[in-house]
Copies of this chain bind each other. A is one copy, B any other.
Amino acid sequence: MDNFNFCSPTEFVFGRGRENECGKFVRKYGGSRVLIHFGGGSAVRSGLIDRVKQSLKDEGIAFCELGGVQPNPRDTLVYRGIELCRKEKADFILAVGGGSVIDSAKAIAAGVLYDGDFWDFYSGKKIGQALPIGVVLTIAAAGSEGSGDSVITKEDGLLKRGTGSDVLRAKFSVLDPELTCTLPAYQTACGATDIMAHVFERYFTNTREVEITDRLCEAVLMTMVKETPRVIDDPYNYDARANIMWAGMVAHNGIVGVGRSQDWNSHAIEHELSALYDCAHGAGLAVIMPAWMEFVYSHDVMRFCQMATRVFGCHMNYEDPDVTAREGIARFRSFLHSIGMPVNLSELGAKEEDIPTLVEKLGLGEGRTWGFVRLSAEDVTEIYKLAAAAEA
């Protein structure tokens, strides 16, 4: 096991109706003037934003608001948020929404306390400090409620880039599974795919003998395999929604990745897709991740056999382990298809002829990525082609 530091200090406030306590938690963590940051109309229409405001009012906490966060959140709104926070002297940001809203709130939180352009932090500069953040989560997917990560898209050129810092971790995150019951099946499935992808990016490692982390990864994956079809069939199943919501946090606060190397190439390859086509991140991952697995599995066949047998219940073929490894990948793709996810580029609305553009934007040049298998531009091209050719 590699040396590591792990700190997940966020207070998770889980369960029915807990969003009505967010004013209390803003106060606990020192907020007195809050920017409420949110997305489109559903959080307003459902009355959630009103309940959040009421909870702040009950604590005598002042607030301003900035809605309009889109999926694949844009730098342009981050600049507006930074300006608004400075004008209103906000000392706390409350993100009410999913990963895009939270990531946008994190960018604003870091930008407010920085003299330069916040985009510096998405171009490699280390974040020194940030305003405190709270979260009321409405989608189980990104895991941003428990992580220090943030991904923003630069409107000019559609560059999608990420950053990470422990100072971006939320002080508290309210997770009320009931808020996710009205989510359409497609978004639910996209979220589930993202959760599983966050685990797989950590599961495929070159560090040996970290059984505890393997088993924790598999715990989340098996939960998703069991619970996701239940919420697709029965959207108001509270317990299934609750299992998925908590699994989404566990998948990405870092605990399933400690002590070893990670991958993250599928995320990087997908980010170019969702930046160019503005497709859902989870749907993009559903197409890319099995294709990536097909391309890399021969690097460590036994690891894929472990996934196939432990997570998807395949029987081990001891005479020909390749068969088991490939069966595991096929089961994963077929699981994603069964919950309504696309299986190839065309179902995603992407075009095979754009592959050179996608690869170009990744900016590898003659270099290679880091990860489980270090990929060249030619390798990535091959993965996009496998993603184009895939069938259910």
> Do B1 and A239 touch across chains, with their CB atoms under 8 A apart?
yes
Instruction: Of the listed stretches A54-62, A220-228, A286-294, A322-330, name the one at the interface; the rest are far from the partner chain.
Output: A220-228
Task: Contact check, A246 vs B219: say whether CB atoms are below 8 A apart.
Answer: no
Considering only residues 1-48 of chain A, those with a C-beta below 8 Å from chain B are: 1-16, 18
Tell me if A218 counts as interface (CB < 8 A to partner B).
yes
Distance of A5 Cα from B209 Cα, bound (Å):
32
| A6 closest partner in B (C-beta) | B12
B239 touches A227 (CB 8 A): no
Contacts of A240 in B (CB 8 A): 209
Tell me whether A3 and B12 are in contact in the complex, defined as CB-CB below 8 angstroms, given that A223-B211, A239-B210, A246-B259 are known contacts: no
Task: Pick the residue among B5, B177, B215 that contacts A219 (CB under 8 A).
Answer: B215
Most chain B CB within 10 A, of A7, A210, A226, A227, is at: A7
A208 within 8 Å of B (CB atoms): yes
Q: Across the interface, which residues of B come within 8 angstroms of A167, CB to CB?
A: none
A136 at the interface (CB under 8 A from B): no
Residues of B within 8 A of A219 (CB): 212, 215-216, 218-219
Q: Is A255 an interface residue (CB 8 A)?
A: yes
Provide the residues of chain B in CB contact with A8, threshold 8 Å: 8-9
B208 touches A239 (CB 8 A): yes
Mask of A194-236 contacts with B, CB within 8 angstroms, 1/0: 0000000000000011111101101110110011000000000
The answer to whether A223 and B227 have CB atoms under 8 Å apart is: no
Tell me the minimal C-beta distance from A136 to chain B in angstroms.
15
A76 to B218, CA, bound (A): 46
- What is the size category of the interface that chain A forms with chain B? 35 or more
Question: Does A247 lie at the interface of the complex (its beta carbon under 8 Å from any beta carbon of B)?
Answer: yes
A221 to chain B, nearest CB (A): 9
Does A243 make an interface contact (CB < 8 A)? yes
B-contact bits for A313-325, CB 8 A (1 contact / 0 none): 0000000000000
Chain A residues engaging chain B, CB cutoff 8 angstroms: 1-16, 18, 177, 208-213, 215-216, 218-220, 222-223, 226-227, 238-240, 242-243, 246-247, 250, 255, 258-259
Report the separation of the CA atoms of residues A2 and B16 in the bound assembly, to the nearest whole angstrom. Answer: 9
Q: How far is the CB of A201 from chain B (nearest CB, A)?
A: 18
> In the bound complex, how far is the Cα of B231 from the Cα of A81, in angstroms?
54
A297 to B51, CA, bound (A): 45
Out of B4, B16, B227, which one reaches A211, CB within 8 Å?
B227
The minimal Cβ–Cβ distance linking A28 to chain B, given in whole angstroms, is 11
Could you pull out 5 A-B pairs where Cβ atoms are within 8 angstroms?
A2-B15, A14-B258, A215-B223, A216-B250, A255-B255
Decide: A246 and B223 in contact? CB cutoff 8 A: no
- Chain B contacts of A238 at CB under 8 A? 1
**Shortest CB–CB separation between residue A140 and chain B, in angstroms?**
11
Least Cβ distance of A291 to chain B in Å? 27
Across the A-B interface, the 5 shortest Cβ-Cβ residue pairs: A3-B15, A215-B219, A9-B9, A209-B239, A1-B242
A212-B12 in contact given A18-B3, A218-B219, A219-B218 (Cβ < 8 Å): no
Interface centre among A13, A209, A211 (most CB of B within 10 A): A211
Give the residues in chain B near A226, CB-CB below 8 Å.
Answer: 211
Point out the residues of chain B lying under 8 angstroms from A227, CB to CB. Answer: 211
Contact B258 A211 (CB under 8 A): no
Residue on B with the closest CB to A16? B3
Shortest distance between the CB of A228 and any CB in chain B (Å): 11
Chain B minimum-CB-distance residue to A238: B1
Are B14's CB and A212's CB within 8 A?
A: no
- The docked-state distance in angstroms from the alpha carbon of A227 to that of B212 is 9
Chain B nearest Cβ from A239, distance in angstroms: 4
Q: A216-B250, A243-B210, A258-B246 are in contact. Are A7 and B11 (CB under 8 A)?
A: yes
* Complex CA distance for A210 and B255, rounded to whole angstroms: 19
